[in-house]
């Protein structure tokens, strides 16, 4: 009986470990056809990039993921579904083998760090520096921040593993949201990538852009339009446009100047926006809505009648 109970306990434990690994893989979706659109800001100059999962196939190494549109990492990744680790895969022409660099330990917790690569002058580490809940496309998601640290030492690697990578320079950090993938990438002294839309398993969140759409539809000036309908009860539409990306806020105030609702509070890319405001919990009366972004500010009046 004790042997049966022990065997059962081991099986349950293994199943829990496997389930935890599968659950952690949700931070890195990789279905063929999945794509992520980003607004990339580089020294106040913006452009758009799209990362696409071209194909996925099984191999003795794990799930081989081929992607395009991302020059920061390898276009050939290997996902170990048992350990929930994502490797960058590079072909070594000297011995005709594939080499793996373990980039993302998806099960890792805050404060966990691992060595990715080292030579006689430097050591590269990845680690999880933060884990928090935040809104992604209006849904509360758990987000993990992975940081890439680089330390330099004068050729002597003795005792290297005792070094604390957090004391070294961090030049790259990436946020991965549960069930979404990478939502932000920051490069020290360089680019910032902001997720504006994604297609996951054929479901679209946010906005997926193309070069043609960008050139034809981008606004050239700031504008806050009059809400419609107006008067309204209880919902109305507010539209605005931004000629360049930046931090934006759209807030609602009552006639006494008290803030009653925040509709926008975060980074927005260049573009035209439409947002629905529901005032079912507010009393009838006159209200004001104000848009602020990049030094621009505009206020308009609206009337709620019940």
In this prediction the pTM is: 0.63
Interval 107-128 mean pLDDT: 80
The pLDDT of residue 269 is 73
Report the alpha-carbon distance of residue 148 to residue 144 in Å, rounded: 13
Interval 81-105 mean pLDDT: 83
- Where is pLDDT greater, at 104 or 68? 104
Name the most confidently modeled range: 27-41, 151-165, 194-208, 257-271: 27-41
The pLDDT of residue 208 is 66
Report the alpha-carbon distance of residue 176 to residue 145 in Å, rounded: 6
Interval 273-286 mean pLDDT: 89
> Percent of the chain scored above 90 by pLDDT?
36
Exposure class string for 139-152: b at 16+ Cβ within 10 A, else e: eebebbbbbbbbbe
Interval 98-123 mean pLDDT: 82
- Whether 102 shows a pLDDT value over 90: the answer reads no
The pLDDT of residue 250 is 92
Report the alpha-carbon distance of residue 168 to residue 116 in Å, rounded: 15
Cβ atoms within 10 Å of 131's Cβ, excluding its own:
13
Phi (first) and psi of residue 142, to 5 degrees? -80, 130
The pLDDT of residue 41 is 78
Cα→Cα distances 29→77, 103, 105, 177, 182, Å? 12, 15, 14, 10, 9
Residues 6+ apart with CB under 8 A from 302: 227, 230, 231, 232, 236, 286, 287, 288, 289
The pLDDT of residue 22 is 74
The pLDDT of residue 156 is 46
Interval 188-206 mean pLDDT: 84
- Whether 125 shows a pLDDT value over 60: the answer reads yes
Read off the pLDDT of residues 203-257 as tens digits, 9 standing for 90 and up. 888 766 554 444 456 788 999 999 999 999 998 989 898 888 788 899 999 999 9
Read off the pLDDT of residues 136-161 as tens digits, 9 standing for 90 and up. 887 889 999 999 877 655 444 444 44
- Where is pLDDT greater, at 189 or 102? 102
C-beta pairs of 22-25 under 8 Å, 24+ apart in sequence: 22/81, 22/84, 24/84, 24/106, 24/107, 25/79, 25/81, 25/84, 25/106
């Amino acid at each position: 009986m004790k042997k049966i109970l022990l065997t059962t306990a081991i099986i349950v434990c293994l199943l829990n470990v496997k389930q935890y690994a599968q659950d952690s893989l949700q931070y890195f979706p990789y279905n063929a056809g999945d794509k992520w659109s980003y607004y990339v800001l580089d020294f106040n100059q913006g452009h758009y990039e799209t990362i696409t999962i071209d194909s996925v196939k099984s191999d003795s190494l794990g799930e081989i993921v081929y992607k395009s549109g991302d020059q920061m990492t390898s276009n050939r990744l290997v996902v170990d579904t048992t350990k929930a680790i994502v490797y960058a895969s590079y072909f070594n022409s000297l011995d005709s083998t594939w080499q793996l660099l373990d980039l993302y330990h998806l099960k890792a917790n805050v404060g966990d760090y691992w060595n990715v690569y080292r030579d006689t002058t430097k050591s590269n580490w990845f680690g999880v520096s933060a884990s928090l809940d935040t809104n992604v496309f209006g849904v509360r998601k758990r987000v993990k921040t992975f940081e890439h640290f680089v330390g330099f030492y004068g050729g002597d690697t003795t005792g290297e593993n005792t070094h604390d990578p957090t004391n070294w320079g961090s030049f790259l950090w990436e946020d991965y949201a549960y069930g979404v993938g990478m939502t932000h990438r920051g490069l020290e002294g360089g680019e910032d990538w902001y997720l504006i839309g994604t297609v996951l398993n054929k479901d679209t969140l946010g906005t997926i852009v193309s070069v043609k759409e960008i050139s034809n539809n981008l606004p050239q000036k700031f504008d806050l339009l009059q809400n419609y309908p107006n008067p309204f009860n209880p919902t109305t539409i507010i539209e605005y446009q931004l000629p360049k990306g930046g931090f934006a806020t759209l807030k609602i105030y009552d006639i006494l100047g008290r803030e009653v609702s925040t509709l926008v509070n975060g980074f927005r890319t260049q573009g035209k926006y439409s947002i629905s405001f529901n005032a079912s919990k507010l009393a009838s009366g006159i209200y004001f809505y104000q848009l602020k972004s990049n030094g621009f500010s505009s206020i308009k009046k609206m009337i709620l009648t019940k």
